[in-house]
Structure 1
């Protein structure tokens, strides 16, 4: 019984947060109402929400996945990962979002190329491209290195691409990217995203 109560409470918390408050307003044409009938309606609503969630576990996952997009200051980054992933799929690429595992300095997306090689991508969608490029460095060293020791590709908003390449050239000439010494390689390290 306790598990059911906890399950219903958790389901309510997740679903209530994603439903606009106006949905909870009650339209009543009469000026009097019964407290017991209000309580019954409330109990039925809780049971309906809990039963929908119980019947479809995917619902909870969908609610949690959509909640990521509403997180202040970083929700747009999650949306950019999904949007760029979809754009690459439309282009026929074998791609998927892998950043949901939150591994430190891990990739956000993976593209499996036709020859079987893997391309790891880190999305950096910031309002200011200087912040985006600077976020790629920790203690003045490039932090996104794949399992083979190569730098991952940094995907930036399409309208910030030119500035991102210039900033990356500067970082390369300052020796901040291990294994990369030619500033002209910046255009291979920075990818123009499908979104702005």
Structure 2
């Protein structure tokens, strides 16, 4: 494939990725869908972080997923994975996480057939949460279920531990971040935020960029074969060509999310919500990536202004 054709494809792919992140085709940006406002503010932000990372890991596992929590439907599902309704509960203990799914001994989150939705809990609470659910079944609190041995059917192991979910609410742009674990205040290091906050955003960016990249690289492969390129070479080009746009999408999402959710950004853009700041940041980062190199080449006389 000619270099100019590859450049056109790269530009079109980067634009498609940006449109997907910014919501230009749906009207709702990924930042709104992922409840960035709630994640980086308020006492329940870690629950949203756990919910988002759970969705990300399921996507990377090639499961069919959708996030429903942004609708704030009372007793509705937070996520749907392969047709299974999931409600995410990230509390300080397994008993509290499971208890949050009940009210006066009655399950609050139910499927259309009356059965109980699966409850997603912090990764480190899973085993105790299954035991807590078994007790609820034994007490007759789980609808359409009488066997405590089936408790695991109603509990999903989360992608993050309780402590890590709290770290995921802290932006790398801020200093002096703290969390509360087991009643104790703990300082959050730069390295911890790099792994659990930035790392979570990067993987989320990857998971939400891959579908767009796959479409573009399938086109690359078909076009290469149309121009009689060897099948192995065409496949190699498509695979290698997917790396850059995935990194671009993940970088746009990560930088925008981290800055938009930071106290630094809130102090600069007073009164503006995190999701709006992330969108503006994403536009700037996208522009820098998509036309930045052209601007440099133009200033150095390598290409014309036109």
TM-score range relative to shorter protein: 0.5 to 0.7
Residue 172 of structure 1: SS of its match in structure 2?
helix
What is the aligned counterpart of 1:108 among 78, 88, 97? 78
Give the equivalent residue in structure 1 for 2:11.
Answer: none
Give the equivalent residue in structure 2 for 1:181.
Answer: 146
CA distance in 2, matches of 1:152, 1:57: 29
Give the equivalent residue in structure 1 for 2:42.
Answer: 72
Q: What are the ranges of 5 or more consecutive residues in structure 2 without an aligned counterpart?
A: 1-21, 162-306
Give the equivalent residue in structure 1 for 2:286.
Answer: none
Residue 110 of structure 1: SS of its match in structure 2?
strand
Residue 112 of structure 2: SS of its match in structure 1?
coil
CA distance in 2, matches of 1:129, 1:101: 26
What is the aligned counterpart of 2:59 among 79, 89, 98? 89
CA distance in 2, matches of 1:128, 1:193: 13
Give the equivalent residue in structure 2 for 1:172.
Answer: 137
> For 1:21-54, what per-residue CA distance to the aligned partner results, in whole angstroms no more than 9, with x for missing partners?
xxxxxxxxxxxxxxxxxxxxxxxxxxxxxxxxxx
Change (3 A) 1:142 1:57: closer
Q: Kindly indicate which of the two structures has a greater share of residues assigned to helix.
A: 2
> For 1:127-178, what per-residue CA distance to the aligned partner results, in whole angstroms no more than 9, with x for missing partners?
2221111110012111111112121101111110000001111110000111
Residue 92 of structure 2: SS of its match in structure 1?
coil
What number of residue pairs does the alignment pair up? 136
CA shift for structure 1 position 57: 8.2
Does 1:119 find its partner at 2:119?
no
Higher-RCO chain (CA-CA 8 Å, sequence separation at least 6)? 2
CA shift for structure 1 position 91: 0.4
CA shift for structure 1 position 193: 1.4
CA distance in 2, matches of 1:62, 1:188: 30
What is the aligned counterpart of 2:118 among 124, 149, 153? 153
CA distance in 1, matches of 2:23, 2:66: 22
CA shift for structure 1 position 70: 2.1
Does 1:132 find its partner at 2:97?
yes
Give the equivalent residue in structure 2 for 1:143.
Answer: 108
Give the equivalent residue in structure 1 for 2:221.
Answer: none
CA distance in 1, matches of 2:23, 2:156: 36
- Greater C-alpha radius of gyration: 1
Q: What are the ranges of 5 or more consecutive residues in structure 1 without an aligned counterpart?
A: 1-55, 113-117
